[in-house]
Amino acid sequence: MQNDEIANAFDEIGDLLELQGANTFRVRAYRNAARTLRDLSDSIADLVADPKFDLDELPGIGKDLAGKIRTLVTTGSIPQLDELRAVVPPGVAEMLRIPGLGPKKVATLFKEHGIDSLASLKKAALAGEIAGIKGFGKKTEQTILANIDQAAEAAQRTLFAVAAESVEPVIRHLRARDVVSHVEAAGSYRRRLETVGDLDVIAAATDAEAVMDALAAQSLVEAVLSRGPTKMRVRLRTGLELDLRVLEEASYGAGLVYFTGSKAHNIVLRRRGQQRGLKVNEYGVFRGEKSIAGRSEEDVYAALELPWIPPELREDRGEFDLAESGTLPTLVTTDDIRGDLHMHTTASDGTATIAEMALAAKALGRKYIAITDHSKRVSMARGLDSKRLREHWKEIDRVNGEIQGIEILKGIECDILEDATMDLPDDVLAEADWVIAVLHYGLKQPRERIMKRLVAAVRHPYVDAIGHPSGRLIGRRKGADIDYTALFKAAAEHGVLVEINANPQRLDLDDVQAHAAKKHGLKIVIDTDAHSTEGLEMTQYGIHQARRAGLEAKDVANTRTLAQFRKLLVKRL
């Protein structure tokens, strides 16, 4: 089993226990365990099989949870989860995705009013029935109607990082087959969207039957849903469905272009073909009945008088103009990143020490990091007050003197409070090497109030960057209502950076706003917001977002050396 499958099971147990009113600490134990498992770089299945390894050595995993992990890995199920599912229909847990609907309210809707799905909830809300339920009211009903479609879409789409746990093993499995010359994931996954629906895999092979047999035998495949001469659809154990298309070598590039999309991008390609007397489809580029291109993507684009366009840019958002003018960006890569400026340690809600985070970052090739534990407002994460923070910074200085090859900056993730002040005094923030200001609370405030807070932070003499600006959680929580133009103008005026938070549940800024930030002349930092050493590997997801935004290495502040990076911090020069 994949780590994410096990983590998802623990998250689901947490959801279902919440709906039954279980003890908060018990629910939190499952949530913390899920995060530990999701962040772990080692395979849990391999650790279970290793007689020398005790699972309860993992952070947040006690003997009881270790036993459940072993049961899940060895049998494919957990009796506790099966029992909870028998009591609570899956649609009930999906209602928890709607902001403002906590476990108690969802339980009331289900147990007392028989509402057991997003569809039945929407029907009741449209009929005005929710407002009349005790403890709900008209405001809750309006919140439900404003957010239910997003919750329904989230239930049908999967975070990119989660989908990767399903599709990458399949790709590796097929690449190992002798009859396969090329194989690649396509669709929204290849374009690196934040979430994906069904998965598409394109293969070039001499024997389509052998490739489909190989897919059917892959351990992640739960069932074969359909099969034809060159196309096969399967359902994976993770619940995702995957389409495999096997093409001849001469059509592989054309098929990859076609099935990668986007639809809007492909429409423009077909139109360009028509203007040149050509027909473009998944089998190639044709002049009359003769194929003139199709073996590679480069050949397809060249036949249409274009350079190859990176998949992340294929959204018909200006990429054709850039291609025609020879100004396509050289997109930033993970290898360009030299620093990581947002991470947590055991001083707040992280699972690793300062030294452990520094050594793990160094192993990934980072030259500098900033330790940015939470400020005191985030009490549930053991946020730091002035006294604890100064003691923490002394420890950073001590560790910095002991570890060679990487520089550790004294930072803080400081909350922008609801009254537009900072969570820590100015004299404390003045001592930091790096201050990243964030919104964690009051995200539903009206735009005017949100902007007053953000602009106040931008103007603050010791704030260096705005982190995860909207505060959104993809598919779970809408971000704050932000006037991004005003934010970016203020940030440019005051020399403040903005962040792409690489956590796959955040990816905040999104690609559209990251592109807008670039147009305003802002430099962007791509940070992991890691809470564990494994979490430091999340940089790749922030890079995906940056590439979709058309960012180059020069647009990203932490591609620079530390000396060059410090020159960008105009407030500290």
Q: What is the pLDDT of residues 152-198, one digit of tens each?
A: 765 678 999 999 999 999 999 999 999 999 999 999 999 999 999 88
User: Is residue 1 predicted with pLDDT exceeding 70?
Assistant: no
Mean pLDDT, the chain, rounded, equals 93
Which phi and psi angles does 52 have, rounded to 5°? -90, -10
Q: Report the pLDDT value the prediction gives residue 573, as an integer from 0 to 100.
A: 67
Domain, as residue range, for 215:
160-325
User: Is residue 60 predicted with pLDDT exceeding 90?
Assistant: no
In CATH, what number is assigned to the domain containing residue 30?
Answer: 1.10.150.110
| Residue that finishes a domain, picked among 282, 303, 325 | 325
Average pLDDT over residues 64-83: 89
Q: Report the pLDDT value the prediction gives residue 69, as an integer from 0 to 100.
A: 92
Kindly indicate the confidence band of residue 445, based on its pLDDT and cuts at 50, 70 and 90: very high
Statement to judge: residues 243 and 319 lie in one domain = yes
Statement to judge: residues 287 and 342 lie in one domain = no
Statement to judge: residues 368 and 508 lie in one domain = yes
**Structure tokens belonging to residue 12:** 């689901």
Continuous segment of H or E residues that includes residue 221: strand 221-227
Statement to judge: residues 474 and 384 lie in one domain = yes
The amino acid sitting at 533 is: T
Average pLDDT over residues 61-72: 90
Q: Report the pLDDT value the prediction gives residue 459, as an integer from 0 to 100.
A: 97
| Residue that finishes a domain, picked among 287, 308, 325 | 325
Residue ranges of alpha helices (H) inside 79-180 are 79-87, 90-94, 103-113, 118-126, 137-156, 160-175
Statement to judge: residues 228 and 353 lie in one domain = no
180-185 and 199-205 beta bridge pairing: antiparallel
Instruction: Determine which of 84-98, 408-422, 543-557 has the lowest per-residue pLDDT on average.
Output: 84-98
- Most confident region among 26-40, 226-240, 424-438 by mean pLDDT: 424-438
Residues 247-285: tens digit of each pLDDT = 999 999 999 999 999 998 999 999 999 999 999 999 999
Statement to judge: residues 456 and 394 lie in one domain = yes
| Residue that finishes a domain, picked among 88, 122, 156 | 156
Instruction: Determine which of 3-7, 16-20, 322-326, 337-341 has the lowest per-residue pLDDT on average.
Output: 3-7
Separation between Cα atoms, residue 228 and residue 63, nearest integer Å: 48
In CATH, what number is assigned to the domain containing residue 482?
Answer: 3.20.20.140
pTM of the model as a whole: 0.79
Q: Report the pLDDT value the prediction gives residue 153, as an integer from 0 to 100.
A: 65
Q: Report the pLDDT value the prediction gives residue 41, as an integer from 0 to 100.
A: 65
Domain count for the chain, please give it. Answer: 3
User: Is residue 40 predicted with pLDDT exceeding 80?
Assistant: no
Closest CA relative to residue 434, chosen from 308, 321, 569, 326: 569
Average pLDDT over residues 548-560: 98
Statement to judge: residues 117 and 223 lie in one domain = no
Q: Report the pLDDT value the prediction gives residue 154, as an integer from 0 to 100.
A: 58
User: Is residue 65 predicted with pLDDT exceeding 80?
Assistant: yes
Q: Report the pLDDT value the prediction gives residue 151, as an integer from 0 to 100.
A: 73
The interaxial angle of helices 484-494 and 511-519, nearest 10 deg, is 40
Kindly indicate the confidence band of residue 97, based on its pLDDT and cuts at 50, 70 and 90: confident
**Structure tokens belonging to residue 346:** 């055991």
Residues 371-413: tens digit of each pLDDT = 999 999 999 889 999 999 999 999 999 999 999 999 999 999 9
Statement to judge: residues 65 and 191 lie in one domain = no
**Structure tokens belonging to residue 281:** 């489809």
Statement to judge: residues 260 and 376 lie in one domain = no
Statement to judge: residues 372 and 398 lie in one domain = yes
Tokens 């923030």 belong to: 429
The 3-class secondary structure across 10-53, one letter per residue, is HHHHHHHHHHCCCCHHHHHHHHHHHHHHHHCCCCHHHHHHCCCC
Strand order in the sheet with 284-287: 279-281, 284-287, 290-293
Sign (positive or negative) of CA dihedral 153, 154, 155, 161: positive
Q: Report the pLDDT value the prediction gives residue 8, as an integer from 0 to 100.
A: 83
Statement to judge: residues 198 and 230 lie in one domain = yes
Largest CA distance in the chain: 77
Residue 146 CB partners (closer than 8 Å, separation 6+): none
User: Is residue 426 predicted with pLDDT exceeding 70?
Assistant: yes
Bond into 470 cis (ω within 30): no
Statement to judge: residues 492 and 458 lie in one domain = yes
